[in-house]
Structure 1
Amino acid sequence: MTARHPAPPRATLLVIAKEPVPGRVKTRLTPPYTPREAATLAEAALADTLHTVLEAPARRRVLVLDGAPGRWLPPGFDVVPQEDGGLDERIAAAFGHCDRGPALLIGMDTPQLTARLLAETAGAGHDAWFGPAEDGGFWALGLADPGLAAALVRGVPMSTERTGAALRRRLVEAGLTVRDLPVLRDVDTAADAAAVAACCAPGSRFATALHSLSGERR
């Protein structure tokens, strides 16, 4: 008889995000887009991300939010506020909402993310999961033990072209086995938006919103 191996535990999926308010989100999209148009794209990216997370297997789904929930929030998420401080502090604190591991944190900047990729991410045999972004940052961080987040993330310089490398180096120096995820492109600029929309699933909210805004400009 073939021995059965226990299935790896399902991860808590964390989404760290800002409420899509004009002037507060996606400011690098302006110009060419207006603050309101940039917020429209941010809302579409966030909604796509949340619905993708709903499609992936998870122990629990948590939205770590700067702001207030809106019509873009589907049911199925626990909503908790972001802590004060820099992004490193807020990411570290987000993992504190996991009562046990593993946990995977993603942002709202990669609407091309698929449920299949999320489902394949956290599995047995690794201590950490790292998703690098094209701009040198990262789109995902997963930890088998979320309690390590504070020591690993706090103090990492954020929003630089060296952020991802610095964070991954921390993981390795801590003696963790790291699974590298595919490189994804964040939506920061208008060029990013166009490239990411082309990678999104047909009919995605983000691609539809970008197409609509581009049509209005013709």
Structure 2
Amino acid sequence: MDVRLLVFCKAPLPGRVKTRLAAGIGDAAALAAYRAMLATVLCAADASGLPTILYYTPAGELETLRRLCGPARTCRAQSAGDLGARMAAAFIQTLAEADGAVLLGSDLPLVTGPLLARAARELAGNDAVLGPATDGGYYALGLSRTGYCPEIFADMPWSTAKVASLTRARLTAAGKSLALLPELPDCDTPDDLARLAAPPWRARLDNTPFGRFLARLPDRTV
């Protein structure tokens, strides 16, 4: 089964990434955190063995993104519209080329190659796969061609604790079979950062770009 990995990301611009995190630790540290998170996600993507496409924003910052991610990455600008419209457009484009797609964000320090490979395998027997986040959202969404469901992208209260449960309910109502991945935290706020810097998560971040970022942070930051 041909499954593509879609990483939704932003060009690493000061003051434009992780703004809620920046409110607590400053723009420079938040930018460093974002760069480390994206690098960690890309290491996991490479380890998964899945063909990977970076869907980025803003559209005019491709070279900024390439300086961080490397010139060999396949990159596509995100479409216009809200998050749901942009995600839907990415799935439609990819599912015209492949059997399935797994979309994830770029602020997931704990995602791993085996977990992403598992998400792809789940699409062989299911219409969809969902990785719920601890804040009520989700960190990964996979759809096969038969699993594409426009209802999960329209009129969704993004950035709320209802997103994962509503997505599951809408997939079920549409008759789609669904597999679940383990729940993981993302990193949007200073509290999220503090949790990742403490047990049990900190040990799992060793030898990752984000773990090295945490090691450089002054203790008072977290």
How far is 1:217 from its partner? 6.0
1:48 aligned partner? 40
Aligned length: 209
Q: Determine if contact 2:151/2:170 at 8 Å carries over to the other structure.
A: no
TM-score, with normalisation over the residues of structure 1?
Answer: 0.88
Instruction: Note if 1:83 corresponds to 2:79.
Output: yes
Instruction: Note if 1:71 corresponds to 2:63.
Output: no
* Matching of residues 1-218 of structure 1 within 5 Å: 9-58=1-50, 60-67=51-58, 68=61, 69-74=65-70, 76-98=72-94, 99-123=97-121, 124-145=124-145, 148-197=148-197, 198=202, 200-214=204-218
Q: Percent identity?
A: 35
C-alpha distance in 1 between matches for 2:127 and 2:67: 36
Deviations 1:28-60 (A, max 9, x none): 1133311121011011101110121011122x2
State the one-letter code of the partner of 1:207. Answer: G
State the one-letter code of the partner of 1:64. Answer: Y
5+ residue gaps, structure 2, are: none
Deviations 1:133-164 (A, max 9, x none): 11111101000117825343222221111111
The answer to which structure has the higher helix fraction is 2
State the one-letter code of the partner of 1:202. Answer: D
C-alpha distance in 2 between matches for 1:166 and 1:217: 35
State the one-letter code of the partner of 2:215. Answer: H
What SS is found at the alignment partner of 1:143? Answer: strand
The two structures, once aligned, show a CA RMSD in angstroms of 2.1
What SS is found at the alignment partner of 1:23? Answer: coil
Q: Determine if contact 1:122/1:142 at 8 Å carries over to the other structure.
A: yes
C-alpha distance in 2 between matches for 1:207 and 1:57: 22
What SS is found at the alignment partner of 1:131? Answer: strand
C-alpha distance in 1 between matches for 2:146 and 2:86: 14
TM-score, with normalisation over the residues of structure 2?
Answer: 0.86
5+ residue gaps, structure 1, are: 1-8
How far is 1:65 from its partner? 0.3
C-alpha distance in 1 between matches for 2:37 and 2:8: 13
Q: Compared with structure 1, are the counterparts of its residues 30 and 210 closer, same or farther at alpha carbon in structure 2 (3 Å cutoff)? A: same
Q: Compared with structure 1, are the counterparts of its residues 20 and 148 closer, same or farther at alpha carbon in structure 2 (3 Å cutoff)? A: same
Q: Determine if contact 1:88/1:157 at 8 Å carries over to the other structure.
A: no
